[in-house]
């Protein structure tokens, strides 16, 4: 599987968004990065895109603790949106706390990884090697 090009970053922290976007652009060929400050606005965006027949972003980073609609609520609602490429979407949880209940819920909601925020070069390399590079080697 090639590296994703269309990324959604959902986090209420503008500084983390700035740092994460900068790092994503530096480390990978991530050209299209859409940023939302809460789950609700991201969800509305995705619903509009699905209604137009567009694909879902291939990689979605979502913070757990946000106002308006948190990451758990976003993911619960995201799974009800119909995208033709949904089976190719990778969901990643972002958090500053690793409470077991949150981790269990994110796993239940099909998050492939949960990373501490902000992203670091090493966490991004881990994500790429575990989720994208290994699949290419196995093929």
pLDDT tens, position by position, 96-114: 877 788 888 888 899 988 8
We report the CATH number of the domain holding residue 26 as 3.40.50.2300
pLDDT in tens, 58-69: 899 999 989 899
Residues in the chain: 139
pLDDT of 1 over the 60 cut: no
CB of 32 closer than 8 Å to CB of 8: no
Q: What's the domain count of the chain?
A: 1
Judge whether 30 and 3 are in contact, CB under 8 Å.
yes
Domain extent, residue 116, equals: 6-138
Average pLDDT, the chain: 86
pTM of the model: 0.88
C-beta separation of 71 from 62 below 8 A:
yes
111 in any annotated domain: yes
Q: Is the pLDDT of residue 116 over 90?
A: no
Q: Which of 16-30, 40-54, 82-96, 125-139 has the lowest mean pLDDT?
A: 125-139
1: in domain: no
In a domain, 31, yes or no: yes
Tell me which of 133 and 34 has the higher pLDDT: 34
Q: Per the omega criterion (within 30 degrees of 0), is the bond before 118 cis?
A: yes
CA distances in angstroms from 52 to 5, 46, 49, 70, 91, listed in the order given: 19, 10, 5, 25, 22
Assigned domain for 38 exists: yes
Task: Evaluate the CA torsion angle 37, 105, 103, 139 in order and state its sign.
Answer: negative
- The yes-or-no verdict on residue 5 having pLDDT over 70 is yes
The alpha helices in the chain, defined as continuous H runs, are 14-27, 39-51, 71-78, 100-108, 121-128, 134-138
């Amino acid at each position: 599987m090639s590296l994703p090009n269309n990324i959604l970053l959902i986090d209420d922290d503008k500084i983390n968004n700035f740092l994460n976007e900068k790092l994503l652009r530096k480390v990978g060929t991530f050209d299209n990065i859409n940023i939302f400050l809460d789950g609700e606005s991201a969800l509305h965006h995705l619903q509009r895109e699905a209604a137009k027949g567009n694909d879902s972003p291939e990689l979605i980073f979502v913070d757990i603790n946000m106002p308006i609609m948190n990451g758990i609520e976003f993911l619960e609602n995201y799974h009800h949106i119909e995208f033709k490429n949904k089976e190719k979407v990778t969901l990643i949880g972002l958090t500053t706390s690793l409470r077991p209940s949150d981790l269990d819920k994110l796993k239940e909601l099909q998050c492939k990884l949960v990373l501490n925020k902000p992203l670091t070069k090493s966490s991004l390399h881990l994500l790429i090697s575990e989720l994208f590079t290994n699949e290419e080697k196995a093929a």
